[in-house]
Amino acid sequence: MTTKTKAKPTTNANIEEAAGPKAPSSRPPSKIAQVIALLEREGGATLAEMTETTGWQPHSARAVLTGLRKKGHAIVKSKRDDQTCYRMTGKA
């Protein structure tokens, strides 16, 4: 004959105890935040600098620029040493 025992109700406190100590709340900056930081520099950033920093392919870095423009960021394009340079001039 088997007897059933009642399961202990799961609560957030139980889950947190089982997970152990909390990790620090500070997270490393996101890749998009890194791109924004590059674009906000006085000289802006080239596509090569963005791909090197993030590890993205060039088409992905260009897609992020398009997404930032759609979100209202003003991004201007210029030339630096025969390379296209992108710079953020603020919110449009």
| pLDDT at residue 82 greater than cutoff 70 | yes
pLDDT reported for residue 64: 97
Question: Across residues 75-84, what is the average pLDDT?
Answer: 94
Collapsing DSSP states into helix, strand and coil, what is residue 17? helix
| pLDDT at residue 3 greater than cutoff 90 | no
Beta bridge partners of 88: 75
How far apart are alpha carbons 43 and 24 in whole angstroms? 34
Domains and CATH numbers, the chain: 30-91 (1.10.10.10)
Question: Across residues 47-68, what is the average pLDDT?
Answer: 97
pLDDT reported for residue 12: 58
